[in-house]
Amino acid sequence: MPHKPVLQALVLADYVYVDAHTGKKVIAGTFNELQAATFPTQFPRVTYAYLCLADLRGQTEVDLRYVDLSSGEVLMQLEHVPVDASSPLESTELIVEVPEFPMPQPGSFALEVHCGGEMLGFLRITVRQAKEDAEEGFGPGED
């Protein structure tokens, strides 16, 4: 790839809203931890990834990969997500609907952002065994 964009932000959230009047993004319910009572399982709902990219030049595509860090196995992949930037001087925001995360066992995972075969950055996700009083699938503090 001749030019590598810069990943300025990567956030997982329950929802990302776009304000109708200002166009600003409202990120609600951020998290980087998942819990389950039993394994293997899946996170029980769709979530959203908010990305902010800089130094983009025209049209490109990004790939998101959910990777088990203990084995390097790609457990889920969203390929060819289109991104269009009018100027490399402007930041480009992107909201991506992410399907249910596979949770094969407790451990460390990563949501990686790739462009042109190169990793731009990642968000570490910790999968934990839920405590008996916690609701399955939700991270600490969520209800």
**In this model, does residue 100 exceed pLDDT 80?**
yes
Where do we find the tokens 């810069």?
A: 6
Q: What is the pLDDT of residue 142?
A: 45
Strands 74-85 and 58-68, bridge-based pairing = antiparallel
Delimit the domains of the chain by residue range. 6-129
**In this model, does residue 24 exceed pLDDT 90?**
yes
Where do we find the tokens 């300025």?
A: 8
Within the chain, strands assigned E span 6-18, 25-30, 33-36, 41-42, 47-54, 58-68, 74-85, 92-98, 102-103, 107-115, 118-129
Distance, in Å, from the CA atom of 75 to the CA atom of 83, rounded to the nearest integer, reads 23
Distance, in Å, from the CA atom of 2 to the CA atom of 57, rounded to the nearest integer, reads 11
Q: Is 72 left (phi over 0), alpha (psi -120 to 50) or beta?
A: left
Right CATH for 6-129 from 2.60.40.3140, 2.60.40.1930, 3.10.28.10, 3.90.320.10: 2.60.40.1930
8 Å CB contact between 26 and 17: yes
**In this model, does residue 96 exceed pLDDT 60?**
yes
Decide which of 58 and 128 is more confident. Answer: 128
Query: pTM value?
Result: 0.88
Positive or negative torsion for Cα 125, 130, 134, 137: positive
- DSSP 8-class letter at 142: -
